[in-house]
Amino acid sequence: MGAALRALPDPPITPMFHSYPGATEGRDLSLKIEVLELRQSVVTPDAHAREHGCLRTPYAALVMPLRLTNNGTAPVSFTFPHEWCGGPWSATDLYACTRDRDDTTEATGGKWFCQQLYQLRERYEMPKVDTLRPGATLKIKTRMDWHGTPSIRGESLIPIGKAATYEVQVVAAYRQREKWHFSVGPLTLVRVQ
CB 124 within 8 A of CB 49: yes
Structure confidence at residue 13 (pLDDT)? 42
- 193/182 Cα distance (integer angstroms): 32
Which letter does DSSP use for residue 9 in this model? P
Query: Band of the pLDDT at 90, cuts 50, 70, 90?
Result: confident
Question: Average of pLDDT values for 138-167?
Answer: 86
Least confident among 57-71, 91-105, 132-146, 175-189: 91-105
Q: What is the mean pLDDT of the chain?
A: 77
Say whether pLDDT at 156 is over 80.
Answer: yes
Least confident among 13-22, 90-99, 161-170: 13-22
Q: Name the more confident of 108 and 5.
A: 108
Strands (DSSP E) along the chain, which ranges? 3-7, 31-35, 39-43, 59-70, 76-78, 94-100, 113-116, 130-132, 137-143, 164-176, 179-184, 188-192
Structure confidence at residue 6 (pLDDT)? 43
- The type of residue at 165 is T
Say whether pLDDT at 120 is over 50.
Answer: yes
CB 192 within 8 A of CB 62: yes
Q: Strands 76-78 and 137-143: what pairing?
A: unpaired
b/e string for 64-89 if b means 16 or more Cβ within 10 A?
bebebbbebeebbebbbbbbbeeeee
Structure confidence at residue 9 (pLDDT)? 39
Query: Band of the pLDDT at 142, cuts 50, 70, 90?
Result: very high
Say whether pLDDT at 65 is over 90.
Answer: yes
- 86/144 Cα distance (integer angstroms): 18
Instruction: Name the H helices within the chain.
Output: 47-52, 105-108
Torsion of CA 49, 89, 83, 115, to 10 degrees: 160
